[in-house]
Structure 1
């Protein structure tokens, strides 16, 4: 058990969006700051209004207003709450970040990566990570075009995908951050025609209506998975300890790491949010 207040590990200078505000401004913050989500505050009062994540943006390319896609009434914590309590909130509510508030004013934020990088790695937990890893993880050939890889993550409702080389060995990993960095929102116009015919003895009247539909979609670069995932994969084995794995995440400043067998084939994935479960059991 960790005896530590959340104020000791929270980020105080919080990057936040605001309402009213546009989605494009959130894209900008996430790209520039390399974040996976940000709290949203009311522009005139500074009060917490919600939270918006990369997943919200990706799933709602047609929406331009932050207020329409942010999660309202987010789970929050106070600065004097202990780390274990906040970790439990994250696990029970399946979330990866908790805004820290005082009188509903945003004073900080804590993510699952913060808890792993600043607290969990200090515990001498020798349990193997296989106890906490996710086993059903999507994989793709590393020469797969990015749009196809993105479709696969959507199909599996997963936030990352492990790439395989020609020999079926793990070669890299793509995350939501990678997909956002390699995409942009474009407006696409489609034309729909409908015809109505009226028959008579001598005359046939044809009328046609045209409907123009504007729709936003994510447009990816023309790269393949290997171009983005690179060729330096950080990994662990199923027998790697929780402490060692947490240390690896901290050392490389990453939120997840593939679990490989002796043949370098992927058998699972360990995320910061998975490791947090070791703190409350």
Structure 2
């Protein structure tokens, strides 16, 4: 199968020069996790920007300062498995499809799962591919605390737990962006300097005002943001069935639960891609 058969042709993109606020708008309205960036004058591919880039750089205003340059690309004639290897080897979830450095499409890990993997009769259990060390939080945790936990673990999602330690939902990077805004914060730094003479002492105080942007979250709790219906799988769910669950529910990841509804891991579209080349 050629990558052109499953790529998305109507590509949403940002431009340079351009502002970060315009990228936030695209991601929120189109419900995307990242977009390619093109040069405004020539239309040539210049980079890629993701939700992670935005969250990690709230103080930057210009797209060029945040985007990843020299992105991995693919030609429309390349085989799907070849592109999957590029994504796995470079730990990326999207690949722009280009001709003469102009974007003609894009393929994401979700596209691989939704348009290719679910059609393959792979009956092996997902436990081989799932991520086992996944952060969890109490469902009554405030959003800023939940975000701090994901940052500490360098993870892009967190599983919510009930009072009985059963899984009740999942909070993703998209949820954090949708429930946040970039605000300007002013801090004041004082420094005192004293100079002593024979007959007098001269005291002065310097005040430095620093303006910095930060990501500010709503005052909601985790349980206020997670979906009412928890979609989950077990470690024995087959690769084919799991890929179909992601496709049918238009999601990129799903918690893996045991028989007591306790989380034991997470399986993502990017994890399932490994099944195509192993």
TM bin, normalised by shorter chain, reads over 0.9
- Any stretches of 5+ residues in structure 1 without a counterpart? none
Query: Which residue number corresponds to residue 255 of structure 2?
Result: 258
| TM-score, reference length from structure 1 | 0.98
Among residues 254, 261, 280, which one is paired with 2:277 in the alignment? 280
Among residues 268, 273, 276, which one is paired with 1:271 in the alignment? 268
Cα displacement (A) at 1:202: 2.9
Cα displacement (A) at 1:204: 1.2
* Counterpart-to-counterpart distance in 2, 1:137 and 1:50: 30
How many aligned positions are there?
278
Query: Which residue number corresponds to residue 73 of structure 1?
Result: 70
| TM-score, reference length from structure 2 | 0.99
* Counterpart-to-counterpart distance in 2, 1:241 and 1:42: 43
Query: Which residue number corresponds to residue 169 of structure 2?
Result: 172
Give yes or no for the alignment of 1:136 onto 2:133.
Answer: yes
Query: Which residue number corresponds to residue 240 of structure 2?
Result: 243
- 1:180-229 deviation digits (Å, cap 9, x = unpaired): 00000000000111110112343111111111101110000010000001
Give yes or no for the alignment of 1:224 onto 2:224.
Answer: no
Query: Which residue number corresponds to residue 102 of structure 1?
Result: 99
Give yes or no for the alignment of 1:215 onto 2:212.
Answer: yes
Cα displacement (A) at 1:157: 0.1
CA RMSD of the aligned region, Å? 0.6
1:29-108 matched pairs, under 5 angstroms: 29-108=26-105
- Any stretches of 5+ residues in structure 2 without a counterpart? none
Query: SS of 2:141's equivalent?
Result: coil
* Counterpart-to-counterpart distance in 2, 1:20 and 1:70: 11
Among residues 96, 118, 121, which one is paired with 1:121 in the alignment? 118
Cα displacement (A) at 1:231: 2.8
- 1:51-103 deviation digits (Å, cap 9, x = unpaired): 00000000000000100110000000011111111011100100000000000
